[in-house]
Structure 1
């Protein structure tokens, strides 16, 4: 049984996103080719992208898989914002690697967020963050329209971080997909 705090579990896998939430869709080009896809997908599914972007991540496992509990933290000490989540879906096929996680009790938002690396028909590799959310804590309700702006900025930051990680991994002589 899932302990996410919203009804539309898996909603980031489908379009349209569920009504009644703010929606986020940010796509960032990462590079080209299968090696970039694999390197970026590995960074996403092992939470390396999040950690390299300055986020504290504690997870039940080293790799995203359905059911894995994840707690994301931003800030330091008593000012750390804690965000408990659970991985609700994953994908790893020829052209797509990623996962989606849903919010749990204690998360400042209610909803789901997906992180997907995709190789398109022209061999370009893109990182996409898709989310639906609404405030679940007094301070996110108080922040109002500022929250989606911060989410968009953070998603772009993740994309830039992932681009750097993928380029570095592909350039490393020991990289083998």
Structure 2
């Protein structure tokens, strides 16, 4: 079943939240390239907590070679945004408000509505753009968030990052994304979009789990 989408004028694409659609890989947003990878990080509560804290303090991006700057939390109470169950049905937010947390250098942790600027190089090309946290989830066995492009990036779209601690005690890291080319080079050579995404996935994985296992 296809899910409807809604428009959020703070981002530059229409299919906000589509990284959570069960059929993303079969029916990606128009003119976009979807991607999905999951990796086992280990098992147990300690591994889940460590990976969750790393994710929420921007470690996937920062330790993945990208500079995260100009972090601007949303004004007012934080809202966790839209999340969905395994069948794609919307569920109640996992948390409505939270105390703002900071890492060692004073950078605010991930929070719904936060806007960030990301700089670096990916697949040999400059990465420079603004992104917005469109939802954030903190549950006893699931933690994650999604970033949507606001402007300036070579692609437009969304990527989500999830840490799950399953009932069998295994901890998994999942990244899902869809990218539509914006820069001229990516429009002319579409395979570069996939190359860029593969490079990003490997960076994120190494940042969260240096001793990563084989993708599922």
Task: Please give the TM-score of this superposition, normalised by the length of structure 2.
Answer: 0.69
Note the 1:50-61 alignment, pairs <5 A: 50-58=61-69, 59-61=71-73
- In structure 2, the residue matched to 1:14 is 21
- How many residues are aligned here? 163
RMSD over equivalenced CA pairs, Å: 2.0
Give the distance between the partners of 1:8 and 1:102, measured in 2 at CA: 10
- In structure 2, the residue matched to 1:131 is 177
Instruction: Flag structure 1 segments of 5+ consecutive residues without an equivalent.
Output: 167-177
Decide whether the 8 Å contact of 2:65 with 2:203 is kept in 1.
no
Q: Alpha-carbon deviation of 1:14?
A: 2.2
Instruction: Flag structure 2 segments of 5+ consecutive residues without an equivalent.
Output: 1-7, 74-107
4+ residue segments displaced more than 3 Å: none
Note the 1:110-129 alignment, pairs <5 A: 110-129=156-175
Task: Please give the TM-score of this superposition, normalised by the length of structure 1.
Answer: 0.83
Residue of 137, 144, 150 corresponding to 1:98: 144
Decide whether the 8 Å contact of 2:156 with 2:179 is kept in 1.
yes
Which structure: greater helix fraction? Answer: 1
Distance 1:132 1:80, change over 3 A: closer
